[in-house]
């Protein structure tokens, strides 16, 4: 093999050198660059090269040595970086890596706040199924069979696998008032057993309505509804509780306004507005220059509902209210698009209070 061929062969080898430990690296250094190393040997051979070839081969040899040295230095650098990383991990006194904390979902934050505010005036939480029967969602709530009021809430019905053509009476609840009917029928049983007492519950949960998904509507959303049943409950009690809630939730300066409305299960019924918390009631784009924004529906429990649930409406009266959690969250956090609440995009979720 000529010196030139030798140089080419070694150049390839040197470029492909790999070492995974310091010992291996030292081995490579000795193999090529020590006094008896293969590259050094070539320098010895170089002495006997004819004069006219000296310039060219000398340059090639120098380049080879340079390549070997650079490659060895590179490997030394990366090995020592790796070992520094290992040592840092072994150092038990080192500052720990930051732990990525999750954040609470804005709807959970708002739901908890609503529950917290009402729990301070004696309300507790009641739970119920999302897949319900017609009786608890509509029947006991004074929606007459085939009554057009059922169309107020576009219902998802659940098909039963019976093969029968009869319309199903199993559905996804359209409001958490269904939990209230369960609470009221349980309460009626207690009264029958001679027990005394009152109902003061909040019913938070997810509800479903057959709506096209857009920035302003979704096929599911969250509600917190409230129910208070006792002797001598009046509309003034309802107004007072809601005023307290509005001030706790949106600030001491918040004012409320009750507008007459209609729900089959309350009489009288009202819709509640609060003074716009964005412009303070002066009028802005958010409140469409009215100074008011609607936040919930409410009313006195219709005596028909109390009776249907087995409660004597001559002895007991009550109020109920229901609000959308998304709506309240929207007012608090100014989320323009409802869909963000259910998309689970961490860039959105990270902006809320951490766990
Ligand atoms: N259930 C009603 C709804 O979902 C809200 C409501 C509750 C209204 C209680 C009045 C009283 O629209």
Atom of ligand 1 nearest to the CA of 323: 5
CATH number of 106-349: 3.30.930.10
For the chain, the domains span: 3-90, 106-349
Write down the pLDDT at residue 227.
98
CA of 295 to the centre of ligand 1 (A): 11
Shortest-distance Cα residue to atom 9 of ligand 1: 321
Shortest-distance Cα residue to atom 5 of ligand 1: 322
Q: What is the pLDDT along the chain (355 residues), one digit of tens a residue?
A: 788 888 889 899 989 989 889 899 999 999 999 888 899 988 888 888 888 888 888 898 999 999 999 999 999 998 988 888 888 778 888 888 888 888 999 999 999 999 999 999 999 999 999 999 999 999 999 998 777 656 666 888 888 776 666 667 889 999 999 999 999 999 999 999 999 999 999 999 999 999 899 998 999 999 999 999 999 999 999 999 999 999 999 999 999 999 999 999 999 999 999 999 888 889 998 899 999 999 999 999 999 999 999 999 999 999 999 999 999 999 999 888 999 999 999 999 999 987 7
What b/e string do you get for 301-316 counting C-beta neighbours within 10 Å, with b at 16 or more?
bbbbbbebbebebeeb
Q: Is 264 in the pocket of ligand 1 (CB under 6 A)?
A: no
């Amino acid at each position: 093999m000529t010196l030139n061929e030798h140089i080419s062969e070694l150049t390839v080898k040197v470029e492909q050198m790999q070492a995974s430990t310091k010992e291996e690296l030292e081995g490579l250094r000795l193999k090529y660059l020590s006094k008896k190393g293969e590259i050094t040997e070539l320098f010895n051979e170089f002495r006997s090269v004819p004069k006219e070839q000296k310039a060219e081969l000398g340059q090639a040899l120098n380049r080879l040595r340079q390549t070997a040295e650079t490659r060895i230095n590179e490997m030394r650098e990366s090995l020592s970086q790796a070992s520094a990383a290992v040592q840092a991990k072994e150092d038990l006194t080192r500052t720990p890596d930051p732990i990525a904390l999750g954040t609470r979902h804005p709807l959970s934050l708002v739901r908890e706040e609503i529950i917290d505010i009402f729990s301070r005036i004696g309300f507790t939480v009641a739970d119920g199924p999302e897949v319900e029967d017609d009786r608890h969602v509509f029947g006991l709530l004074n929606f007459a069979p085939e009554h057009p009021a059922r169309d107020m809430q576009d219902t998802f019905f659940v098909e039963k696998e019976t093969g029968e053509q009869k319309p199903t009476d199993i559905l996804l609840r359209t409001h958490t008032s269904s939990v209230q009917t369960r609470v009221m029928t349980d309460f009626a049983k207690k009264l029958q057993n001679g027990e005394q007492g009152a109902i003061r519950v909040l019913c938070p949960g997810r509800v479903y309505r057959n709506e096209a998904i857009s920035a302003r509507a979704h096929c599911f959303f969250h509600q917190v509804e409230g129910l208070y049943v006792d002797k001598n409950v009046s509309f003034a009690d309802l107004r007072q509780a809601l005023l307290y809630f509005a001030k706790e939730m949106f600030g001491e300066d918040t004012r409320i306004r009750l507008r007459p409305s209609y729900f089959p299960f309350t009489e009288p019924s009202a819709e509640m507005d609060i003074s716009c918390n964005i412009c303070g009631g002066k009028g802005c784009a958010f409140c469409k220059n009215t100074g008011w924004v609607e936040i919930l529906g409410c009313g006195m429990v219709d005596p028909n509902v109390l009776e249907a649930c087995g409660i004597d409406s001559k002895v007991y009266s009550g109020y109920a209210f229901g609000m959308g959690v998304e709506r309240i969250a929207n007012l608090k956090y100014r989320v323009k698009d409802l869909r963000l609440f259910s998309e689970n995009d961490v860039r959105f979720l990270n902006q809320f209070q951490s766990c």
